[in-house]
Each structure stands twice: as C-alpha cells, then as structure tokens.
C-alpha cells in the first residue's frame, strides 16, 4: 500500500502532491511512512498507513511524526494524515478532538476485487477545513519586515496594490501579516476571501471562489498566469507581477468582488 501511494499520491484525495520521502527516519521515533509535499504551496503531509483497524499507538505515532517534522522544518505548513482500512467511530471521535488543535486528516481505504482486478478507494472521514475556517487567528502573527525578508519589498508592495483594488469594493480592509500568508482584516476581524503569498519575483493571489468554467474563462481571457485550482481549500491561485496587475486591473477587481460576495453570502 505504501508503494502504491508513493507512486501516485493523488489517489488519497489531497490534491496534486509529490513524494518527498518514504520510510523517513525520525530521531528516536522510528520511520515516517510517507512524506508528501505540494509544489505550489508551503504544505507538507506526514502520512502514516495502517492495514486493519486504527489504534491508540497509530494515532500517537502519526501526531509524533507530524510534530517532529514541523519542528525540524518550521518554514512549511504541516498536516498529519492517518490512512487506515478501518477507522472506527470511537477513534474517529478521538481524532476529532485532536483535530481542534492539530491539523489532522483521517482517510479510510478499501479494496474491491472485480475479476482479476483490484480497485482501491479512499474516503476522507475527517479534514482540516474546520481549522481553516477559524482563519488566521490560529496562525502565527508576523509583520511586514518578516515578509520583505522572506520575499522582497517589491513583491510585498504588490499586495498593497491589490489591497487598493479591494478598497474600491469595501474601504475598511487592511493587510494582516501571518507566517504562511498575508491575509485580510476588516474592522480588525479576519476576512480572507483573498490572501497573498509574496515570492521573489511575483505575488500569488489566492481567491476563495467555487470552481466554474465561467471563472476560468474570465481568467484565461485576461491571459493571467493561473495555477491548478486548489480543490482542497476551494481557491483559484494566480501569479501576478506589477505589470500584470496594472494591465488587468478591471478583471482583478471583478474576481475580487466575486470572492468577496461569496464569502459574505
């Protein structure tokens, strides 16, 4: 099972992830089954696999590996993932309690044999969406200087330019600097219908909009650099530089309005 997931990590339903490592040695704590990573974000997934029923030691081991990896590599956003054939309601309740404080994902796998073929199915029983909806209040707060060092002053300034476009929709928004992204606040309260991830040469604008052909046509018509849709969080991700923001001002405002209205509805 480990080899199957390692060959094609997408089968477990967490998006287009790549294999970073397997049987990863943990100091004084055994080996992590699989480490996956999203190439376009700072997200890593510590995956533990168990055939049969999950148990106490499996949960503890998964959390322990997650904790070690996030302490060793704090520049990434880490998620603990349990994959098991049978996740009982009792353990699902226990995992749910942990999920309030730890980004923990539970996936149940099953195999069905048809003739000489075996089909694998993965069902996500517990996700971290509830944690994400708590918004950046649960994230580590930083400041502008942190982002200017991590990216550049020029690309952080691109977030300022997009903020000015947002203020044409509602004037009371401001930037809120967090460890993994720059978010938005309205009257001091988080409202992340759009977030920013400044890089060295561009800023990535992420818009929380349900996937649709209409939105994709609008983005493609403007010839914007659109990354793969983030199915897990329901976001369009667009890479922008200064010239692209200036050239596509009206289209960007239109997309911001749609995201703002969806968040407010």
So where are the chain's domains?
2-133, 139-264
CB-CB contact of 46 with 22 (8 Å) = no
Give the helix, strand, coil percentages of the chain, each rounded to 5: 35, 35, 30
Q: What is the length of the chain? A: 265
Q: What is the pLDDT of residue 129?
A: 52
What is the pTM assigned to this prediction? Answer: 0.55
Report whether pLDDT(134) > 50.
Answer: no
Closest CA to 187 of 176, 174, 177: 174
Q: What is the pLDDT of residue 27?
A: 77
Q: How far is it, in rounded angstroms, from Cα 59 to Cα 80? A: 10
For residue 146, give every residue at least 6 positions away whose Cβ sits within 8 Å of its Cβ, in sequence order, or none.
177, 179
| Residue 40 phi, psi dihedral angles, 5° rounding | -95, -5
- For residues 180-193, average pLDDT: 90
Q: Mean pLDDT lowest for which of 68-77, 115-124, 192-201, 234-243? A: 115-124
Domain 139-264 has CATH 3.90.1150.20: yes
Highest mean pLDDT among 18-27, 38-47, 213-222: 213-222
What fold is seen in the domain 2-133? Trna Endonuclease; Chain: A, domain 1 (3.40.1350)
Average pLDDT, the chain: 86
Reported confidence tier of residue 38, pLDDT bands at 50, 70, 90 = confident
- For residues 221-245, average pLDDT: 90
Q: What is the pLDDT of residue 28?
A: 74
CB-CB contact of 237 with 228 (8 Å) = yes
Q: What is the pLDDT of residue 131?
A: 45
Report whether pLDDT(200) > 50.
Answer: yes
Report whether pLDDT(123) > 50.
Answer: yes
Judged by phi (left if over 0) then psi (alpha if -120 to 50, else beta), residue 16 lies in beta
Q: What is the pLDDT of residue 140?
A: 65
Q: What is the pLDDT of residue 135?
A: 46
Domains 2-133 and 139-264 fall in the same CATH topology: no
Q: How far is it, in rounded angstroms, from Cα 219 to Cα 109? A: 36
- For residues 186-215, average pLDDT: 92
Angle (deg, nearest 10), helices 249-264 and 213-221 = 160
Give the pair of three-digit tokens for residue 37: 């990573």
For residue 159, give every residue at least 6 positions away whose Cβ sits within 8 Å of its Cβ, in sequence order, or none.
175, 182, 196, 198, 203
- For residues 150-155, average pLDDT: 95
Q: How far is it, in rounded angstroms, from Cα 264 to Cα 83? A: 35
Q: How far is it, in rounded angstroms, from Cα 231 to Cα 236? A: 9
Q: What is the pLDDT of residue 13?
A: 85
For residue 110, give every residue at least 6 positions away whose Cβ sits within 8 Å of its Cβ, in sequence order, or none.
85, 120, 121, 123
């Amino acid at each position: 099972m480990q080899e199957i997931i390692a060959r094609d990590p997408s089968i477990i339903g967490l998006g287009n992830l790549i294999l970073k490592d397997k049987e990863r040695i943990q100091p004084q704590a055994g080996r992590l089954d699989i480490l996956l990573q999203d190439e376009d974000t700072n997200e890593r997934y510590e995956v533990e696999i168990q055939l049969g029923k999950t148990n106490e030691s499996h949960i503890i081991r998964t959390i322990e590996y997650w904790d070690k990896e996030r302490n060793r590599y704090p520049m990434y956003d880490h998620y603990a993932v349990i994959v098991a054939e049978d996740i009982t309601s009792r353990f699902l309740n226990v995992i749910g309690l942990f999920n309030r404080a730890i980004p923990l994902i539970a996936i149940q796998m099953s195999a069905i044999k048809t003739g000489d073929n075996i089909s694998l199915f993965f069902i996500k029983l517990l996700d971290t969406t509830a944690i994400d909806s708590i918004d950046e209040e649960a994230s580590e707060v930083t400041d502008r200087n942190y982002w200017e060092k991590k990216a550049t002053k020029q690309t952080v300034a691109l977030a300022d330019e997009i903020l000015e476009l947002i203020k044409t929709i509602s004037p009371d928004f401001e930037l809120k600097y967090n460890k993994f992204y720059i978010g938005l606040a309205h009257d001091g309260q988080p409202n992340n219908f759009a977030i920013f991830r400044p890089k060295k040469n561009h800023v990535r604008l992420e818009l929380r909009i349900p996937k649709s052909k209409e939105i994709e046509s609008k983005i493609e018509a403007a010839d914007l650099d659109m990354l793969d849709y983030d199915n897990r969080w329901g976001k369009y991700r667009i890479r922008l530089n200064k010239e692209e923001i200036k050239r596509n001002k009206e289209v960007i405002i239109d997309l911001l309005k749609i995201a703002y209205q969806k968040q407010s509805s």
